[in-house]
A and B are shown apart, each in its own frame.
Chain A
Amino acid sequence: MSCLDTIADYGLRSIGIGAKLLPRTDFTLCQQFTLIGSGLIWNVYFAVLALAFGFFLANALALARIAHSPFIRKPAEWFVFVFRGSPLFIQFFLAYELLVLLPRSGVQLLGLTIETSWLTRAWAGALIVLFLNTAAYSAEIFYGALQSIPKGDLEAAEAYGLTGWKKFTRVQWPTMLRLAWPSYTNEAIFMLQSTTLVFFSGFPAFSQMGDALYYANYFADKTFNPFIPYPIIAFYFVVLTLILIWGFSQVNRYLNRHLPQNTQSRIRLRPQLLR
């Protein structure tokens, strides 16, 4: 079997397309590269969607944290504390254990039956956990950035007659984003890396469809040799990280486009805010 056949069979195996069974004997390097690469689809899926949804919640949370009313501020603070203060590993486990407690037949709400069984599947349940988790971390970053907006910028905005919502959308929010972006890039990298925990604690793999680490584990288990599959997954993650850094630095250039060249904040990957 040539390597192209292998790719045709296993390239999309992680989402259930291609060969039904995983290879069981005569493991080749090509098989390992293909299947582990196929598993990356899930890692990317989790990372991209969690970050995309989490971004909005994080903005809301950051605003709630600077609110004067304690009824808005306190819940946001607690939310951020619980999700930042506990390991993701344990969050996954608890989320799964709680989600399976939901009634199987669905929840009756206002006469409607809401299906709940899909929540225990990794694609939904784990995504929710990752979404809440990244929202909490990003909220902390945005909150920090909101507080470090230069006083002069705000005074200038007021001098131009900008107040309230307008001041926020035209001055505060863009500046916050610009200041937060380097740290937010780090958060994105760590979100990507955290996706490997999905099938590792709590959420079971369905029909042998799992993420990159799941397949690396499978090969390590079948070949009894951990020294090939794990370096492969490490390689894949380095590549993904580089792509991600490139994408985020493009956004960073856009956010900083109005500043003189020498004062632009370059994305320096300092692990200031990581999980």
Chain B
Amino acid sequence: MFAICADPKTLEGLTWLGCYLTSGKHLDFYMSFVTVLALLAVTAPAAMLLGFGGAMASRARLAPLRWIGKGYSAMVRGVPDIVYFMFFVIALDQGIEYVRSRFVCDDLSAPVFQGMEFHVCNAAKVPLATASPFTFQAYGFFLAVVTFAIVFGAFVTHVLSGAMQAVPRAQLETAEAYGMSQRQVFRRILVPQMWVYALPGLTNLWMVLIKATPLLFLLSVKDIVYYARELGGTKTSAYAYSHPDWRLYYFLGLLVFYLLMTKVSEIVLTRVSLRLSKGQATAAGEAQRRGLA
């Protein structure tokens, strides 16, 4: 990166360390923190959407829809998320390519599964073989987001349907008495009111989501754990910067990162919780009212 770093073997001491920490691979390592944060930023709303849909489905009058909603939320509770991560990505990738092949391939006569091999025509590959490496990374990232969103969406479904049930019945009945239709009650009363009940559960889910990110490397995303392992391992002179086993230090770095993330999240979410409790018929809301009075 810098001119003085041109020949790492001749460097010593702090210069060596400076050059080492700014090598191309380390820059990738720093970028992977951004990847993890980006994943969190994208996954959280996606899981919320899925969870909201799931919660609505599990309240539906139509029985099959209700079964889908309930089944979905029950799905991930009994099974460790790591098990899903082990085979979801390949399944998802094959699913997407299969669907695409039904539209873009000219010749659909060949079987898709030939023994253990999965075959679609070249035009149906996602991304196309000619795509740039960046596209491949972006696609891998996309698959990881979808996998995380599906697993965590199921948890959100659970939290939200619990929160919808926790909204005091009297509030809904009052709305009905004012002549609102079922839809209006749902949109104007139930949804705005449920957040305060959902927040403790969602707060926890957010913390869980943060702490699930070290498993990203299972989804073939080059995340911080991947780079910490890769950079920390013993480096012989085959590498420009050789050093003994430093994984311990890299993982301590990750520990600090996660503790910071947790601390910041705690501070922000406490504020949100205070804001949401304002004027609510809950203990926290009552305490605020008294404090003001």
Contacts and interface: CB of A to CB of B under 8 A. Distances in A.
Interface string A73-102: 000000001101111111001100110000
Contact of A87 (B86, B212, B247): B212
Contacts of B251: 90, 93-94, 97
Contacts of A216: 83, 86
Contacts of B80: 193-194, 196, 213, 237
Most B C-beta atoms less than 10 A away, residue of A196, A220, A224: A196
Contacts of B291: none
B232 to A, nearest CB: 10
A66 interface: no
Contact of B255 (A90, A196, A272, A275): A90
B18 interface: no
B99 interface: no
Given A225-B116, A241-B77, A274 B82 contact: no
Contact of A89 (B83, B162, B215): B215
Nearest to A197: B82
B261 to A, nearest CB: 8
Contacts of B90: 226
Interface residue range, chain A: 35 or more
Contact of A270 (B84, B158, B207, B252): B158
Contacts of B210: 87
A89 B82 CA distance: 11
B79 A200 contact: no
A196 B79 CA distance: 10
A87 B213 contact: yes
B78 A242 contact: yes
Given A97-B248, A234-B79, A272 B86 contact: no
A238 interface: yes
A233 B247 CA distance: 31
A81 B262 CA distance: 9
Contacts of A196: 80, 82-83
B262 A84 contact: yes
A241 B258 CA distance: 29
B200 interface: yes
B145 to A, nearest CB: 19
A268 interface: yes
Most B C-beta atoms less than 10 A away, residue of A87, A88, A238: A87
A274 to B, nearest CB: 6
Given A86-B211, A225-B116, A234-B83, A94 B78 contact: no
Contacts of A272: 200-201, 204
A144 B262 CA distance: 19
A217 B82 CA distance: 12
Contacts of B81: 193
Nearest to B87: A226
Contacts of B116: 224-225
Interface in A36-65: none
A269 interface: yes
Given A226-B87, A268-B162, A90 B82 contact: no
A237 B248 contact: no
A237 B91 CA distance: 20
Interface in B49-75: none
B214 interface: yes
A161 to B, nearest CB: 29
B23 to A, nearest CB: 23
B86 A270 contact: no
B205 interface: yes
Nearest to A192: B80
Contact of A86 (B82, B91, B201, B259): B259
A87 B224 CA distance: 13
14 contacts: A81-B259, A81-B262, A84-B262, A85-B262, A87-B212, A88-B211, A94-B255, A189-B78, A220-B86, A226-B86, A237-B79, A237-B80, A270-B162, A274-B205
- Which 3 A-B pairs rank lowest in CB-CB distance, beginning with the nearest? A85-B262, A238-B78, A193-B80
Interface of B: 77-84, 86-87, 90-91, 116, 155, 158-159, 162, 200-201, 204-205, 207-208, 210-215, 225, 247-248, 251-252, 254-255, 258-259, 262-263
Given A86-B258, A87-B212, A230-B87, 5 more contacts: A85-B262, A189-B78, A230-B86, A234-B78, A274-B208
